Amino acid sequence: MKKQVKIVVYGAEQLCASCVNLPSSKETFEWLGAAISRKYPDQPFDILHVDIFNPPNEEELSKFAKRVVEEDMFYPVVTLEGNVVGEGNPRLKVIYEELEKYGYSSEG
């Protein structure tokens, strides 16, 4: 593996208006962490949930959280190494493809 990646799930306690029948950002965060761990065992990654209405003081995270709100993005918004890889209803296939660009492999 080349690099341990950073995945951030941006969202809020309340669902976005256009995402009523979808899982919450917290549920997506938990589901995504579990799915990636199963697909790429023993290949560590950092995953973080950021509340877009109460972001941490870290400039990069807070700046993107503000962007999600201002641009009315469908959340949860998932970023991988700062690149948006999912919005509203993220697709595992897309996220897996991006992880594999960083050297993650499902073949033990």
**10-residue stretch averages of pLDDT, the chain, 108 residues long:** 86 72 86 96 95 94 95 92 93 95 86
pLDDT at 2: 61
pTM over 0.85: yes
Element (H, E) at 100: helix 92-101
Q: Which structure tokens are listed for 16?
A: 């976005």
Domains of the chain, start order: 6-101 (3.40.30.30)
- Please answer whether residues 43 and 104 qualify as being in contact, where contact means their C-beta atoms are separated by less than 8 angstroms: yes
pLDDT at 88: 86
N-term to C-term CA, the chain: 11
Q: Which structure tokens are listed for 53?
A: 């209405």
pLDDT at 72: 87
